[in-house]
Amino acid sequence: MRAFGLLLVLSCLLFASPARAEHEGKLQILLLGDSTTEGSIPKRHVPQGPHLEDVVRLLLAEEPDLPPTNVINQGLSGEFIRRLLDSGRYDKDVAKLPGLDYILIRYGLNDHSYRENLAENFPKDYHELLERLRKDHPQATLIVMTVIPYFVDNDTRAMLLNDLNRKVAEAEKLPLFDIFPRYAAELKKGPDMLNYRRFPLEKIPENRRAFVKPFVVDGPKPTVEVMDNRLDAHFGDLPGWYGDRHPNLAGYHVIGDETAKYLIPLIRQKFGKPAAK
């Protein structure tokens, strides 16, 4: 009987309750956006990171009174709101995520390129996305973000997009996280310090192509991809060398740092541990 009782206890421990889900005991923070959120090129070249989601998680973990977090990056290159909703990706990758506490949304750059009648359709698409997020994640705090400085010629388009983002946040009575000023301030330290270099191999002089071979990414149209400024001395005078404005690892550290600073007081107010007496 004693042996049987011991077996019964062991069976209960092993089989009575399912494994603890990842979201249990951790705050769930979702990042939604385009390539400037995803960071696919830095992830390809520096897979060990830390990348945007890692930076946010690690900085939040430094606050001893905050609970542990799980930061999920669902950014996707080329994405805009209408594509997210119509492609099925929302239902597949966003709708069923468990236990989301905060959802940070940063769209606009591709919407500007692909969505006709932007001033009308971008807010309309955004309201539809927010309605679905509220339905699928009723406990989550939804946060509208501005876009980062991106357009190499001027910031007029970014200002237009951010004005639309601001109006959406106001209409929906949601917080607006304005990432633009911090990123713009960092760029003043060096206008190209936060973006990687991605340049067509065919535009590199033929006699220098062997020199850039370690940085070539093969494909139908091979490109030279560099995460920093190490080749600027050789090719910085080529038209378009600085044309790609996607963040490099330094850029994602800026976004991650500002994101953590924005989230810390929100999380502390709602989930922070009371101060010890």
What one-character DSSP code corresponds to residue 87? S
CB 179 within 8 A of CB 258: yes
What phi and psi values does residue 145 have, to the nearest 5 degrees?
-115, 150
Q: What is the pLDDT of residue 23?
A: 63
- Report the relative pairing of strands 100-106 and 141-145 from DSSP bridges: parallel
Contacts of 156 (CB under 8 A, 6+ apart): none
Strand ranges (E), 122-277: 141-145, 176-177, 197-200, 216-217, 223-226
Q: Would you say 189 and 157 are in contact if contact means Cβ atoms under 8 Å apart? A: no
Measured CA to CA, the distance from residue 210 to residue 63 in angstroms comes to 48
Amino acid making up residue 40: S
The gap from C-alpha 41 to its chain's centroid, in whole angstroms, comes to 13
Q: SS3 for 103-150, per residue?
A: EEEECCHHHHHHCCCHHHHHHHHHHHHHHHHHHHCCCCEEEEECCCCC
What are the backbone dihedrals phi and psi of residue 226, each rounded to the nearest 5 degrees, phi first? Answer: -130, 130
- Cβ neighbourhood burial of 266 (10 Å; 0-12, 13-18, 19+): middle
- The top-level CATH class assigned to 22-189+249-271 is alpha beta
Which one, of 159, 199, 150, lies nearest residue 37 by Cα?
150
Q: List the domain boundaries for the chain.
A: 22-189+249-271, 197-243
**Among the listed residues 56, 150, 141, the one whose alpha carbon sits nearest the alpha carbon of residue 107:** 150
In this prediction, the residues of the chain whose per-residue pLDDT falls under 50 are: 1-21
Q: What is the pLDDT of residue 154?
A: 64
Measured distance between the N- and C-terminal CA atoms of the chain, rounded to whole angstroms? 50
* pTM more than 0.85: yes
Q: What is the pLDDT of residues 137-191, one digit of tens each?
A: 999 999 999 999 998 666 788 999 999 999 999 999 999 999 999 999 999 999 9
Q: What is the pLDDT of residue 18?
A: 39
pLDDT of the residue at 13: 40
